[in-house]
Amino acid sequence: MSDHYQVLGVGRDATGEEIKKAYRKLARKLHPDVNNAPGAADEFKAVTHAYEVLSDPEKRRIYDTTGNENGTDNGFGGGGFGGQGFGFQDIFDTFFGGGAPGGGRGPASRSRRGQDALITVRIDLKDAVFGVNKKIDVDTAVVCPTCDGSCCQPGTSPRTCDICHGTGQVQRAVRSILGQVMTSAPCGTCSGFGTVIPDPCHECSGEGRVRNRRTLNIKIPAGVATGTRIQLSQQGEAGLAGGPAGDLYVEIRVNNDPTFLREGDDLHATLTVPMTAAALGTTVTLDTFDGERDVTVKPGTQSGEVTVLNGLGVTHLRGHGRGDLRVHLHVETPQKLDSEQEELLRRLAQLRGEEYSEGRLNSSGTGVFAKLRDRLGNL
């Protein structure tokens, strides 16, 4: 006689649940309906017999104590299929998923969770810098105000199905190696719900929800960027038959700003100053998102130089503090000059040793190119 523990592949200290799990795994593998290999049927019988003994606490105690089964070693065991610990329900659960009479799954629920929804919201760059509270209109499914999600016309209620009598399942006979057994399937009349709705709600047609537009107040945090999504729990589509609502996702789109360009958490702006102001130095007032700020232009400033205003950028989304505002200076050269302005510039050029002749810059003498040549010659 083979050892029942070895047959099931479990230890002698295995729990009842571990024994049942091992049996189901082997039975599904060895059942003659799915395995026609030579010897599979005998192995299936041995596995079934081992489970019959070890699943019964008293039989297992006798087996562990004496090494025999007190006269029950006869194929499927003296307890038969109806014996304690191993019965019709165990076999049915193994092969048919638990649909036996008295052990079915019961009627299904009409309620279903609603779908998630996604909407896009546009905001200005300033709102992304500081955050903003915004009202949005959402067109989604909401709980039916007439039936309050019951799916029934007011004053009525669901009725127990006459076919399945409220179980949501109907039985049918199936032939197997064990003979004819009864399986369960969802009732076609009530779709497995166990009840039917004789008077569906007229407004929602028995769904328990209708489409409607509603207004939500949402808080958009500082630091968001285009593509950021904000999740609002249970603000999405209402579920069927009063089921929980899905979630609403708000995707942010940040509008372009005419003055500032965002890169990460830094802002960039271009400030144009006249040539004379760049040469002499000046202070320019810049209108930022934080109000007016002075930008110092040092004497001799060249185009492309950058002045940094610390902490005037975008708020960090997941942290403290803010980025910087980087002001790019652009020196503007005058394009149209009157005769007096031209004379002043010529005089300035002469004072600076920049010699002009007939509209051409003279590279000889002590002009600008001579100065450059002298510098290179001294290296």
CATH of segment(s) 117-254: 2.10.230.10
Domain spans of the chain?
4-96, 117-254, 261-332, 339-377
Mean pLDDT over residues 292-301, rounded? 93
Q: Which amino acid is at 106?
A: G
Mean pLDDT over residues 86-102, rounded? 46
Predicted TM-score (pTM) of this structure: 0.60
> Do 261-332 and 4-96 fall under one CATH topology?
no
* Percentage of the chain lying above the pLDDT 90 cut: 47
Give me the chain's average pLDDT, please: 82
Fold that domain 4-96 belongs to in CATH:
Helix Hairpins (1.10.287)
User: What's the confidence (pLDDT) of residue 75?
Assistant: 38
152 known member of a binding site: no
Give the tens place of pLDDT for each residue, 313-366: 999 998 789 999 999 999 998 888 888 988 888 888 888 877 666 556 555 444
By the 10 Å C-beta count (0-12 exposed, 13-18 middle, 19+ buried), 374 is classed as exposed
151 known member of a binding site: no
Give the tens place of pLDDT for each residue, 238-288: 999 999 999 999 999 999 999 999 999 999 999 999 998 899 999 999 999
- Is CATH 2.60.260.20 correct for 261-332? yes
CA distance 283 to 222: 31
Give the tens place of pLDDT for each residue, 110-143: 899 999 999 999 999 999 999 999 999 999 999 9
**Given a cut of 60, is residue 81 above it in pLDDT?**
no
Helices (H), the chain: 4-8, 16-30, 40-54, 57-66, 88-96, 125-130, 275-280, 339-351, 368-377
CA distance 326 to 270: 9
